[in-house]
Amino acid sequence: MLKRVYIDNFRCFVNFELPLTQEQLILGSNGTGKSTLLDALRAVKALVTGDARPDELFPYSSRTRWQSLPQQTFELQVDLVESYRLRLELDSWGSPQKTRIKREVVLCNERPVFEFVNGEVHLFNNDFQHKVTYPFDWFRSALATVQPRPENALLMKFKNWIETLHCLELNPHTMSKVTEREEIEPAPDMSNFASWYRHASQERADSASRLQDDLSQIIPGFESLDLVLAGANSRILEAKIAFPSSDSPPAGYPIAFDELSDGQRVLISLYALLNFMVDRNTCLFLDEPENYIAIPEIQPWLMELQDRIEDRGGQIILISHHPEMLNYLAPELGLVFERSGPGPVRVRNYTPTSSLSPSEQVARGWSIDG
């Protein structure tokens, strides 16, 4: 479980501490850094998994504008029985200036299992003994290149966890019905839903079956979600839906995924996330998941989410402005992001300040007073 995030000198985050629990709702006005948090986490993940270089992910413009500090710092503290801490320090070097990694460290129970400091990598074994030193390119993540070996199991446990960190903002307009291949990772906007579902349903038939059960309760006449052959490797994602008729038994007919309504596509995606992604070590950040779906659908999804987390573990951090979400979750799980003008983001636990519901409090702009 991700217990703490620390960000310094990244856009609106200055010396910013975010403690987290298993379930959390982040709320706050526009421009208080809620989505920027997801950008930061996506960038950290992309860096240490080798998907991109530091200067692509953390350009000079990502530094906090109103100060002129050269160094950016990020920390993730994760509990996986052992307590892990990833610390990243980035600065700029060369002409033209490029972002480089000054320090990339993974600690396990506050003892190093990996260090990449000033261009030198230090590897440690599972007993925290320093074993290997070698020079490495400052402009790439060395952590991303470490391969699993029996003697670095402790480090790999953290590396495996970070693969399960997902920051998503569902956008039905980008979701395609066509898939050319299986994809393990959902795209941040779930535009690759069909490809991700193709992989997930192959890997976890039981979850796929549970998803179909869920959808049959949500979409009238829903029969199945199918991947139909459309070429050597291509498949088209279709929902089979039957309209009940008094004259004859209902017969299902296919509707391509992109012919479903925006709300139906998002609901299918949300229930797919519940079934495939809410799992022991998974950490899922979802930005405004209620966008596009009807009000009566929100609370049942939240209840199901809560039940799945209780049953299977996992961590979910929701970001929302919606009154349904705020009123249902904020009293127990709310974290408020605030800024004074264009200053740095501050965070505090939601505390009721009046006889108003959280949504009414936020609507009046009174939450800032807490």
- Residues of the shown chain interacting with another protein in the complex, contacts defined by CB under 8 A: 217-220, 261, 263-264, 267, 294, 296-297, 299-301, 303-304, 306-307, 310, 326-328, 330-332, 352-359, 361
User: 19 or 331, CB closer to another protein?
Assistant: 331
What is the nearest approach in angstroms of another protein to the Cβ of residue 331? 6
> In the beta sheet, which residues pair with residue 20?
none
31 φ/ψ sector (left φ>0, alpha ψ -120 to 50, else beta) = left
What is the nearest approach in angstroms of another protein to the Cβ of residue 50? 37
Q: Looking at residue 277, what DSSP letter applies?
A: T
Q: CB-based burial of residue 185 (10 Å sphere; 0-12 exposed, 13-18 middle, 19+ buried)?
A: middle
User: 244 or 341, CB closer to another protein?
Assistant: 244
What is the nearest approach in angstroms of another protein to the Cβ of residue 330? 7
User: 145 or 299, CB closer to another protein?
Assistant: 299
What is the nearest approach in angstroms of another protein to the Cβ of residue 355? 5
What is the nearest approach in angstroms of another protein to the Cβ of residue 220? 5
Spell out where the chain has E strands.
2-8, 16-19, 23-28, 72-80, 82-93, 98-108, 111-117, 120-124, 130-135, 165-168, 178-179, 222-229, 235-242, 252-256, 283-287, 315-319, 334-339, 345-349
Contact present, 319 and 34 (Cβ < 8 Å): yes
As a whole number of angstroms, the distance between CA 367 and CA 254 comes to: 47
Residue 13 token pair: 């985050």
User: 120 or 307, CB closer to another protein?
Assistant: 307
What is the nearest approach in angstroms of another protein to the Cβ of residue 212? 15
User: 291 or 357, CB closer to another protein?
Assistant: 357
Residue 34 token pair: 């809620």
As a whole number of angstroms, the distance between CA 48 and CA 43 comes to: 9
User: 124 or 301, CB closer to another protein?
Assistant: 301
What is the nearest approach in angstroms of another protein to the Cβ of residue 307? 8
User: 180 or 360, CB closer to another protein?
Assistant: 360
> In the beta sheet, which residues pair with residue 334?
25
User: 166 or 308, CB closer to another protein?
Assistant: 308
- Kindly give, in sequence order, each residue whose CB lies less than 8 Å from that of residue 197, ignoring residues fewer than 6 positions away: 179, 225, 227, 237, 272
As a whole number of angstroms, the distance between CA 3 and CA 12 comes to: 21
What is the nearest approach in angstroms of another protein to the Cβ of residue 327? 4
